Amino acid sequence: MTTMFALHDFPPDHFLNREFSLLAFNRRVLAQAADERMPLLERLRFLCIVSSNLDEFFEIRVAGIKEQIKLRSNATGADHRSPHEVFRRVTHEAHELITEQYALLNDAILPAMRKEGICFYKRSEWTEEQQAWIHSYFRREVMPVLTPIGLDPAHPFPRVLNKSLNFAVELEGKDAFGRNSGAAIVQAPRALPRVIQLPRELTDVDYGFVFLSSVLHKHVNELFSGMTVLGCYQFRVTRNSDLFVDDEEVKNLRTALQGELPQRHFGDGVRLEVADNCSEAMSDFLLQQFGLNHEDLYRVPGIVNLVRLMSVPDRVDRADLKFPLFQPGLPKQLSGRYDMFDSIKKGDILLHHPYQSFTPVIEFLKQAADDPQVVAVKMTVYRTGTDSVLMEHLLRAAQKGKEVTVVVELMARFDEEANLSIAARLEEVGAHVVYGVFGYKTHAKLMFVLRKEEHGYRRYVHLGTGNYHPRTTRFYTDFGLLTCNDEIADDVHEVFKQLTGLGKASKLKHLWQAPFTLHANMVESIRAETEIAKAGRKTHIIAKMNSLLEPEIIEALYAASQAGVTIDLIVRGVCCLRPGVPGLSENIRVRSVIGRFLEHHRIYYFHADGEEKLYLASADWMERNFFRRIEVAFPVLDSKLKRRVIKEGLKTYLVDNCQAWDMDGDGQYRMKPSRRVRTCAQDLLLGELGEA
């Protein structure tokens, strides 16, 4: 296993800060919402995605920084910035980003939507008929589920759920018991819709909406009979949501996780969002209740949870304001009715999602569950959703008496509860459920089917770069490979042995595996390219991933660049490498592609003196993926399929001049206008692989 390095071994000015890079990524996403060439309702979606991303950023990343500050830790990243310095800049940039986000919503997107007949009515705009309907709705649907809590010695400040919608109410007067606390809290149950659609006959547009916050503001006085409401302010607190499970104390991971999960909703406060009309006295009071400072306060001109607007595009039947519909295609060998096992025996099958359908993967497991010749099924589960059809096929396979083994990753962030439920259901039908190796997340995407055929057992496997999640395969770009190659199957079988049993790691024939060989092989491949360049021969490295942070990989890339290796990096999100720096990285280009689909596949290409080594992987170039996760990178051995991956997954993105952002050495991204014909990688692939 590769030995971990010390950060001080590398110059700090070689690295960009992870948190700043993550905020830069969200600026690129926000730019999609600002792009008037985008369909209007998709612009709204991108705006909501920024909010969702920022929620997790505060829940995990900012929470971690604040924890370091609280513990007076001097821990730093590769750039050696102190937690205090990082927090100050992150806070400043987050405030700026959120200000720009709300300005875009209020000044551009909502007015444009109104012109298209999609209107969010303010209270001041409600007609008498609308007011009557809304009041009836409040009395019938909202008021019965509200529990206003007056603040006094007998009613302390309530526990407020993470990211829930709440209202702080300032009051005057005495109640029936003579109490006069001056304040109350109203919590909006999550069962209530945050966006309410008005009946068509009550509006002058096709789609008229009001916000739950507006409805409650208008009628909050009815919750406090006989008292005067001086102010009503919506607020939302974001809490530390990272789970802590002590690997030295835990005896049973599943039991420990079940005990820890309920506390996630009540972690330490990290951020307080309030409406911009909130009084200084009330905002100070709320900050005090959550143990926060003024820099943690975010005043917003609108609703405090923009993520809730994500449902609006699905409720509006306007195809002209959304991305065009498309039908994922199928490889030629899977046209018509097909037997998965016969098809795979004829040759490896490469699937490029979402341009090509995920159905063959589902069908592979379905046919394995129903085929009497199939003896055993093994699968890793990281994220699959709460109602996954794949899980139903696994359950049926176990019920039919097949040996079903499922490695469920219980620590998949924000999917822990779903995975606990899946594990329980599988155990009920007799499947073998294991939780991998404690201390290492099982992130590899593997499926293994053992089938008894005429000449003995044959193994069929599926390896992927993305999760076994049928819903996300519609908008995440990923590759999947179906094969019955004996040596690949040997390797996959060996990985499952490690995950379910005990013993030393065996040498694999084709797969590179973390935490054992993946990092060392990646570094060695980069260094081999460096030596080839020094010998004056052709070299090229192309790598596509979500994130690039790992310092030893970055330093190896710098050395390769200095030797003359041409390096193209397509990094969707966080990148701590500094490209194009004289004397350090002149030969490195970094670009990020942001578009309709979330770029998710990891592809690693090395020219290798003409051999052209190509690996697909579940792993980014991050320390956690190399050293704290179980990952695999797998080769594409079929020459035609290899050419497909190079063309579809790499070269098409390198010529994109429509959705690609080029990064400079200071971490700034620019979309360079092109005078050439516009080339959009995602549109090209839709045209080539999808169906009309």
Say whether 265 sits in a helix, a strand or coil.
helix
Which structure tokens are listed for 611?
Answer: 């051999």
Q: Where are the beta strands (DSSP E) in 138-214?
A: 149-150, 166-172, 183-187, 195-197, 207-211
Q: What is the DSSP letter of 527?
A: H
User: H or E stretch including 599?
Assistant: strand 598-599
Beta strand 374-381 with 445-453: parallel, antiparallel or unpaired?
Answer: antiparallel
Which string of DSSP letters, residue by residue, matches 65-125?
HHHHHHTT-----TT---HHHHHHHHHHHHHHHHHHHHHHIIIIIHHHHHHTTEEE--GGG
Is the distance from CB of 499 to CB of 407 less than 8 angstroms? yes
* Residues taking part in catalysis: 443
Which structure tokens are listed for 567?
Answer: 């390096």
182 Cβ contact partners less than 8 Å away, ≥ 6 residues apart: 151, 170, 171, 172
Tally the C-alpha atoms within 13 A of residue 327's C-alpha that lie toward its C-beta.
Answer: 4
Amino acid at residue number 203: T
Maximum CA pair distance of the chain? 90
Separation CA 637–CA 491 (nearest Å): 14
CB atoms within 10 A of CB 571: 26
Separation CA 302–CA 306 (nearest Å): 9
Is the distance from CB of 559 to CB of 585 less than 8 angstroms? no
Place of tokens 């030596």: 531
The phi and psi torsions of 197 (rounded to 5 degrees) equal -90, 130
Q: Where are the beta strands (DSSP E) in 440-584?
A: 441-442, 445-453, 456-464, 476-483, 512-514, 541-545, 567-571
Is the distance from CB of 370 to CB of 398 less than 8 angstroms? no
Is the distance from CB of 596 to CB of 682 less than 8 angstroms? yes
Q: At what angle do helices 389-399 and 359-370 cross, to 10 degrees?
A: 10
List, as own/partner pairs, every contact residues 616-619 make where C-beta atoms lie below 8 angstroms and the sequence separation is at least 24, other chains included: 616/463, 616/465, 616/479, 616/481, 616/645, 617/465, 617/512, 617/518, 618/443, 618/444, 618/445, 618/464, 618/465, 618/466, 619/443, 619/514, 619/518
Separation CA 397–CA 393 (nearest Å): 6
User: H or E stretch including 375?
Assistant: strand 374-381
Could you tell me the sign of the dihedral formed by the alpha carbons of 541, 569, 411, 87, in that order? positive
Tally the C-alpha atoms within 13 A of residue 123's C-alpha that lie toward its C-beta.
Answer: 10
Tally the C-alpha atoms within 13 A of residue 219's C-alpha that lie toward its C-beta.
Answer: 20
Nearest to 244, CA basis, from 411, 75, 54, 414: 411
Is the distance from CB of 167 to CB of 216 less than 8 angstroms? yes
